């Protein structure tokens, strides 16, 4: 999915089995890389940190940095 400069970022609350949309948008930003992640492709996040991650590798690296 191609992001346009005017597309709004979503604000989510991340839970253990999914997320809840608090502010509608088409994507969230990866907390580590800053890459936009379309909501339909979002698979990795931290409930504790309330952060989204672009890939499994990025999520794993972030968890190991604790």
Query: What pLDDT, in 10s, does the model give residues 3-57?
Result: 566 788 999 999 999 999 999 999 999 999 999 999 999 999 999 999 999 999 9
Q: Parallel, antiparallel, or unpaired for β 19-23 and 11-14?
A: antiparallel
Taking only Cα atoms into account, the Rg of the chain, rounded to an integer number of angstroms, comes to 11
Q: How far is CA 49 from CA 4, 7, 63, in A?
A: 27, 25, 10
Task: Please give the model's pTM, rounded to 2 decimal places.
Answer: 0.86
* Residue that the structure tokens 């990795």 belong to: 44
Which tokens in the block code for residue 19? 């997320």
């Amino acid at each position: 999915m191609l992001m346009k400069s005017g597309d709004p970022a979503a604000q989510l609350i991340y839970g253990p089995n999914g997320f809840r949309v608090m502010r509608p948008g088409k994507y969230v930003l990866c907390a580590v890389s800053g890459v936009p992640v379309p909501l339909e492709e979002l698979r990795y996040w931290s409930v504790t940190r309330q952060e989204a991650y672009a890939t499994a590798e990025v999520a794993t690296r972030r968890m190991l940095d604790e």
